[in-house]
Every structure is written in C-alpha cells, then in structure tokens.
Amino acid sequence: MVRTAGHVPDYAVLGSLEYAVSVLHVPLIAVLGHDHCGAVTAAQHAIETGVAPPGHIRDLVERITPSVLASANAAQQDIHAVVVEHVKQTVHRLLDNSRVIFDAVDNYSTAVVGLAYRLDEGRVQLVSTAGVL
C-alpha cells in the first residue's frame, strides 16, 4: 500500500509501484479517491480564489489542478465529480510516467483500476480500468 494526499504519484510512489509490479509481481494496482478529499478540495479552492497554499502543499495542488480544470470545463464542480476525474487522470498518469507499469499492463500481468469511495454511503465506484482484471 502506498498512500499519498490526493493520490499524487511522485517518484517515490512510482518506484514503490514499479517494485511491486516487477519484483513482487503484484497483479493489481488500485487508485482510490474519496469524496471528502482535502487535497482535491485544496486544489479546487486555490483555483477558485487564485491563492496558492504554502509549502509543499502547493506541489500537491499543482499536480491536482489539471483534474479540477477538466471537471470545471465539463461543468462538474461537485467534489465527488472532481475526485472521479482526478482518479481517472491518476490512472493514466501512472501508465504515462512508468514504462514498467505500462509494460506490465500491456502484457496482462498487472491491471490498474481507479475507484472512488463515497464515505457517507460506504460504497466504492469503479471509474477507470487499464488492463485485464
């Protein structure tokens, strides 16, 4: 398990997942977002106000910003809709930024799924897949 705020994949996350896939032969990577995500909310707030958060929180917000903008362009500003978009983009980002993960998905040894968790309902929604489950 690799946990980060806003499920943002940095080099340490990519390295950990690549190790899991190539050495441990993990068959499934799950990207799990949730509807009260503080990091996604912070990114949405930064775009709405034009005020960037301090310190390294800014890096998280900058990496989540494309998902917030894509949701806004689709007229979906509900936090759950933004989280769903960010989960989808994170799944694609894993494949785009890691040849190891891409190859594992391409040769059917690993799949990547994107899930959105609704905390109040206790339900998980499948929102994205890559590879064979």
Model pTM score: 0.90
In a domain, 76, yes or no: yes
In a domain, 12, yes or no: no
pLDDT at 127: 95
User: DSSP state, 8?
Assistant: -
d(CA 111, CA 86): 18
d(CA 46, CA 77): 14
Place of tokens 């799950």: 30
Query: Phi and psi at residue 3, in whole multiples of 5°?
Result: -120, 130
The mean pLDDT value of the chain amounts to 93
pLDDT at 71: 87
pLDDT at 1: 85
The boundaries of the domain holding residue 68 are 35-110
User: DSSP state, 23?
Assistant: T
Average pLDDT for residues 13-26, to the nearest whole number? 96
- Single out the residue of 15, 8, 12 nearest to residue 93, CA to CA: 8
Structure tokens that stand for 66 in this block: 């494309």
Total domains, the chain: 1
**105 burial via Cβ count (<10 Å: 0-12, 13-18, 19+):** buried
In a domain, 90, yes or no: yes
Place of tokens 């759950």: 80
In a domain, 45, yes or no: yes
Q: Is the pLDDT confidence value at 22 over 90?
A: yes
In a domain, 39, yes or no: yes
In a domain, 51, yes or no: yes
In a domain, 106, yes or no: yes
- Single out the residue of 45, 46, 58 nearest to residue 5, CA to CA: 58
* CATH label of the domain that carries residue 99: 3.40.1050.10
